[in-house]
Amino acid sequence: MSTNKDTDKKKDTCDKRIEKLEKQIKKFKNEKQQLLKELEEKNDKFLRTRADIDNFQKRMNRELSLKIEELRIKYLTEIIDLYEILKKAQEDENPKEGIKLILNNIDNLFEKEGIKYIDCMGRSFNHELHHAVTICEKDDCESDTIVEEVKKGYMIGDKLLRPSQVIVAKRKEE
């Protein structure tokens, strides 16, 4: 009889273990389902975000292309106007008026775009604004003074568009 009791106890213990393991399995299955659902949601969110980024990049590229085309048209129109004035000046017996008109149009374009001439004659050499073409020795001025402008320099706003090409004086040593 004791064997029967022992067997029943062992069976009860095994049944309890099985029941406990089945609960754990059920719990793990629920957790797995929940994690899979979260993973699917996050993956979906990721894919949507990626699609939004791709669409944004495409829109920015389109807008950039349109802006570039607008600027191209704007400047080509200005060049066409200058070209036509040059053609008329070429046909004119006295082209000075045509040349004056062209220079006036270019000055207006420069003013509209914020392009300014760098005034450098007689000033001290500044490597950020000037490019020294050559150096010459002089008695009548300070060293590093600009004595001649070979090519004009220009700024657009606060940025250097083209440096002035200059000749810089070096005081003669006695």
**Model confidence over 111-124: pLDDT tens digits?**
988 999 999 998 99
Intra-chain end-to-end CA distance of the chain, in Å: 132
**Model confidence over 76-85: pLDDT tens digits?**
988 888 888 8
This prediction has a pTM of: 0.58
Say yes or no to pLDDT of 152 above 70: yes
Domain 114-174, CATH:
2.30.22.10
DSSP 57-92: HHHHHHHHHHHHHHHHHHHHHHHHHHHHHHHHHHHS
d(CA 147, CA 123): 8
Say yes or no to pLDDT of 165 above 90: yes
d(CA 142, CA 138): 8
Return the domain boundaries, the chain.
1-113, 114-174
Angle of CA points 59, 156, 98, to nearest 5°: 105
**Model confidence over 48-66: pLDDT tens digits?**
999 999 999 999 999 999 9
Angle of CA points 78, 83, 87, to nearest 5°: 150
pLDDT averaged over every residue in the chain: 89
Domain 1-113, CATH:
3.90.20
Angle formed by the axes of helices 96-113 and 2-91, nearest 10°:
160
d(CA 149, CA 117): 12
Q: 161 burial class (0-12, 13-18, 19+ CB within 10 angstroms)?
A: middle
